[in-house]
Structure 1
Amino acid sequence: MTDALDQAKRALRAELRERRQQLSDAQRAAAAEGVRAQLDALVTARGARSVSCFLSSPTEPGTRPFIEAAIARGIRVLLPITREDGLLDWTVASPGGEEVVGALGVPEAVGEVLGPIAVNDVDLMIIPAAAIDRSGMRLGWGRGFYDKTLGSMDRRPPVYAVIYDSELVDSLPRDVHDQPVTGVVTPTRTLDLPADT
């Protein structure tokens, strides 16, 4: 990655973090309910019986209401556990499951570790992002966990990133390792995107 590209990404991430931190508790609660409704509809439309998701941090669009609702519907939900080598292990979500703060300061589920290839069997991946552009390119938070995971999959299921409405942008700085997504889920809509691969 060039220095200019790295600096552009860092500046954009800092701006997005600041915007997220300025949201009120009421705005966050409304966003979480909107995300739950959008993800419920997406899972139904895709006929997904097994999904991967993530435990949202306090400033991310909330995923916990969706995770609890999916478990109650009998959907198998895998949650990520970060590894030192940059890959993700997975564990099965359980109702009211235990959480810890992971090595990167984000919430992670506690459970039986299934290993990186467990995600190969899901029908749908739901991942975090800082922003997505209209070609489907994703800006993550700079650690590369999801780019490595997506880049290593032989058969990738549909991948949807959860963001706030304002984080769908016209274009993003991109590097060769950046992985596209199938679409975005925001508190108000679900949008399929023409991945630019």
Structure 2
Amino acid sequence: MGRPQPSTHPAKTALRDQLLTARRRRPLVERSEDARAIARALTAAPEVRRAATVAAYVAVGSEPGTAPLLSALLAAGKRVILPLTLPDRDLDWAAYAGDQDLAPARLGLLEPVTTPLGPDAVATADVVLVPGLAVSLRGERLGRGGGSYDRALGRVPVDTFTCVLLHDEEVGLEVPTEPHDRPVTAAASPGGITRFAATF
């Protein structure tokens, strides 16, 4: 199968615009509370508690925050790997041991400065946490449209716990899909973990 191309699907674009506008309007205090609630929900989840390696990411802008989560994962003794965006928008991965490992990167992201592990490193994770804008009750995830995480999820074994981090109202929406879209097995939001029946 060819690599996913950036999406220009009109229905996806309209839904992205709507969701991004709502996120930008969310008060800063609420964002901080949501980030802590998501961290509590995930660190209590059995899939995360028994995981040795967790693939995560550093949230930016109006995304649900990940700083409390990353701190909690390290405190629990997890090996954490974070993405590095390659020039073709594929994802490499590198180990994370604290904020001293992060530096500004392309697309306004913060990425590790540690040694790259290769794009296939995501397949070694017991849990894969991904960003998104919405998810359906079938696990269909709406991302930003670059295809980076669809490619990464394509390398992950099908029985791996893959989870998108969202606000409560972004879970359970009807999400337009394309053939290259990769579903996830769960969503984490301030209200807790929503698990989806396997349809793939």
Q: TM-score, normalised by structure 1?
A: 0.91
Question: Secondary structure of the residue that 1:33 maps to in structure 2?
Answer: helix
Does residue 38 (structure 1) correspond to residue 38 (structure 2)? The answer is: no
Does residue 90 (structure 1) correspond to residue 101 (structure 2)? The answer is: no
CA contact (8 A) 1:89 1:116 kept: yes
2:103 maps to which residue? 100
More displaced, 64-73 or 92-101? 92-101
- The alpha carbon displacement at 1:102 in A equals 2.6
CA contact (8 A) 1:55 1:109 kept: no
CA contact (8 A) 1:52 1:119 kept: yes
Whole-Å separation in 2 of the counterparts to 1:12 and 1:51: 29
CA contact (8 A) 1:180 1:195 kept: no
Does residue 61 (structure 1) correspond to residue 47 (structure 2)? The answer is: no
2:17 maps to which residue? 14
Match of 2:116 among 92, 113, 122: 113
Structure 1 residues 86 and 156: CA distance shift in structure 2, 3 A:
farther
CA contact (8 A) 2:135 2:172 kept: yes
Whole-Å separation in 1 of the counterparts to 2:47 and 2:142: 27
Query: What is the letter of the counterpart of residue 116 of structure 1?
Result: P
- The alpha carbon displacement at 1:112 in A equals 1.3
Does residue 182 (structure 1) correspond to residue 162 (structure 2)? The answer is: no
CA contact (8 A) 1:68 1:96 kept: no
Query: What is the letter of the counterpart of residue 79 of structure 2?
Result: R
More displaced, 122-131 or 145-154? 145-154
Whole-Å separation in 2 of the counterparts to 1:95 and 1:43: 24
- The alpha carbon displacement at 1:96 in A equals 2.6
Match of 2:30 among 27, 32, 36: 27
Question: Secondary structure of the residue that 1:78 maps to in structure 2?
Answer: strand
* Consecutive aligned runs of 4 or more in structure 1 exceeding 3 Å deviation: 43-46, 152-156
Does residue 167 (structure 1) correspond to residue 167 (structure 2)? The answer is: no
Q: TM-score, normalised by structure 2?
A: 0.90
Structure 1 residues 43 and 126: CA distance shift in structure 2, 3 A:
farther
RMSD: 1.8
CA contact (8 A) 1:135 1:171 kept: no
The number of equivalent residue pairs is 194
Whole-Å separation in 2 of the counterparts to 1:132 and 1:55: 19
CA contact (8 A) 2:128 2:161 kept: yes
Whole-Å separation in 2 of the counterparts to 1:44 and 1:120: 16
- The alpha carbon displacement at 1:158 in A equals 1.1
Q: Which runs of 5+ in 2 are unaligned?
A: none
Structure 1 residues 116 and 185: CA distance shift in structure 2, 3 A:
same
**What percent of counterpart residues are identical?**
32
